[in-house]
Chains A and B, each alone.
Chain A
């Protein structure tokens, strides 16, 4: 009976298992191999050992794309965390029409990625875009936004807050899990809103913050759409994000071997960063049930 169940269980899970093997593990293994070859699309791959990885050290654009992506991550992740946390706090209040507010704030997340990008191209338009029109009405000088080197990445960081809905929902769920008796205890001791936030909400929310931080960092390191659709990595490589550079090497310049090596390097970088985040987490993430473990 048990064996029968096991067999059925595996059979039912097979589509997922096969999908994972064929479409994830397979290509990963293949790219790991190709990263050790010199392979131009159309020619056959020839084994060159770690030469691709060595070439990266001297590749100016590799470093440029890495630093651009890091810049973007350092800007976008904290900003999204702060904004979505703040909005989640607001939406956790007892106000009228709460579900409507929650829907409104979540709505932008449902806009398809490319539609979203096209919308923002208009928002950033230096002549008749939304942002410059507003600034001009307020008597302020406009900006070139994504069309100037110095403002291109900051513009995209601002844009990243647009899709904070998912992070916000997770925060909201976390907020609702904060035990009510802790707030009552603070109130009894005469603590106000600030103390309730600082001594109860924030510590109790650290696991949720940590989760969103890790997911956010992993996601933003792979930022691509904006560079692909809005800026094509420009102007002057200002938005040359890592994955966009990888894509260009692979499909425009046809250097599949080098592109595979770039992909694996990014994988390692993300793994190391995640590992460091986890190690660091012990210092500031508070698990209420830690003692029970």
Chain B
């Protein structure tokens, strides 16, 4: 009896082995193994893994190995490039994607647009070109900068951040309201005597000085850009730009309503996520990307979404995301492109309903049914329509980091250090920017190529 069972099992195993061996050799429907490399929070990891599982279910015979790489993504991807062991599909840091595109390390998706019409209907700013007709990738999702706030904190102070671009705060209104929201350990506000800036319990607002996407909307709203139309002269030393950065510096040192460097760091050097800052009410309002929505919902924060303050016309940075691309040299390019078209298609992927991503296809901002398909659910608050969908469509400007050539070196050698200096508050923004802008100008090589489809 037992022996016969054993034999049976043995026979089955042998059959199985034979079947796999056969399968490996045949053409279509065979074992295709792809690798998908990505970064993100632990919540994003879960969501991406389930997207990949869905893809496997819809495409029998194809298996996708997720390569979750939360830290030092550029370093690790660079190492894979150098050792010629690229994954098939994945995220690519945006600035780096242009270099890899020019080097031919990314598949040109231009010829595939006819085959995958959903890829052809994207917002124009989503496409990434490294030369005429060389579409090396797309921004993974559309992400924009928003003003997140803690509902209970603003209610307590009697403040209501506007959720429509039409009623966006002016900068002065932002400052005024931030005063109401800043409290030290003894319950004093910054405009009350005895306020202790070293013992702040709740900061009114936090808006990063070193992170370009956070201030790019302000810059554009004040009528100036990072560089001129030729992309060869840096405009950060113009009075308009200086005003924006001086205002940001003043939030910390003049008004004392925003945290300075190191003040939000917990155990590591990393500032905790916006969800944690709002949940613990360490900060009442935070300028951060739309992607925070997933973490807000997952950690059950009592949050609200507002639009950014404005100078003249309200603007926010869009396409604040990494790139997605298909890596060249894949054994299964066709399947890899298939996975690429799938990985951010709202019809299959729940990352849009979950709140991590905003779609790249135009119709999801214009067509009511399409808008509802990703926003009509418990994870998207009522103000989402005006504060995010309409705001992105009407007041979005693609963030400069994706558009300026040589940005990686400019950022690490000149821009970030200068912004850090503004952040430390030792010298006024104007002095610092007037020194930095000519250096940046000398490194500028123009805007990246763009073209109509």
Contact = CB atoms under 8 A, between A and B. Distances in A.
Interface of A: 40-43, 61, 118, 121-122, 124-127, 136, 142, 144-149, 229-237, 248, 251-254, 256
B265 A121 contact: yes
B74 A121 contact: no
Contact of B82 (A41, A126, A145): A41
Nearest to A127: B263
B418 interface: yes
A42 B421 CA distance: 34
Contact of B268 (A41, A121, A145, A148): A121
Nearest to B432: A236
A235 B412 CA distance: 12
Size category of the B interface is: 20 to 34
Interface in B240-266: 260-263, 265
B160 interface: no
Contacts of A236: 417-418, 420-421, 424
B203 to A, nearest CB: 11
Given A61-B413, A144-B424, A40 B99 contact: yes
Contacts of A40: 99, 103
B269 A251 contact: no
Given A142-B198, A235-B420, A248-B412, A256 B262 contact: no
Nearest to B106: A42
Nearest first, the 7 A-B pairs at minimum CB distance are A147-B262, A235-B420, A236-B421, A251-B75, A42-B103, A147-B261, A236-B417
Contacts of B75: 251-252
B312 interface: no
Given A149-B421, A252-B412, A253-B412, A42 B100 contact: yes
Contacts of A142: 198
B82 A144 contact: no
Contacts of A121: 265, 267-269
Contacts of A230: 269
Nearest to A119: B267
A237 B417 contact: yes
B13 interface: no
A149 B426 contact: yes
Contacts of B100: 42
A124 B267 CA distance: 10
19 contacts: A41-B78, A42-B81, A42-B99, A42-B100, A121-B265, A125-B265, A126-B260, A126-B262, A127-B198, A146-B262, A147-B261, A147-B424, A149-B424, A233-B417, A234-B416, A235-B261, A248-B412, A252-B78, A253-B412
B262 A118 contact: no
A171 to B, nearest CB: 33
Contact of B423 (A145, A232, A235): A235
Main secondary structure of the interface of B (DSSP, over half): helix
A252 B81 contact: no
Contact of A251 (B78, B261, B413, B424): B78
Interface in B257-290: 260-263, 265, 267-269
A253 B408 contact: yes
Contacts of A125: 262, 265
Given A126-B263, A236-B418, A236-B420, 15 more contacts: A118-B268, A122-B267, A126-B262, A127-B262, A144-B261, A146-B262, A147-B261, A147-B262, A147-B424, A149-B424, A235-B261, A235-B421, A237-B417, A252-B75, A253-B412
B105 interface: yes
Interface in B383-438: 408-409, 412-413, 416-418, 420-421, 423-424, 426
Given A234-B420, A237-B417, A248-B412, A118 B267 contact: yes
A256 B420 contact: no
B20 interface: no
B118 interface: no
Given A121-B269, A125-B262, A147-B262, A42 B424 contact: no
B334 interface: no
Contacts of B420: 234-236
A124 B263 CA distance: 11
B79 interface: yes
A124 B269 CA distance: 11
A178 B421 CA distance: 52
Interface string B92-124: 000010011001010000000000000000000
A149 B421 CA distance: 8
A230 B261 CA distance: 12
Contacts of B265: 121, 125
A251 B262 contact: no
A231 B99 CA distance: 27
Contacts of B413: 61
Contacts of B199: 127
A253 B416 CA distance: 14
Contacts of B200: 127
Given A122-B267, A127-B263, A41 B81 contact: yes
Contacts of B99: 40, 42, 254
A148 B424 contact: yes
Task: Give the interface centre of B99, B260, B424 by most chain A CB atoms within 10 Å.
Answer: B424
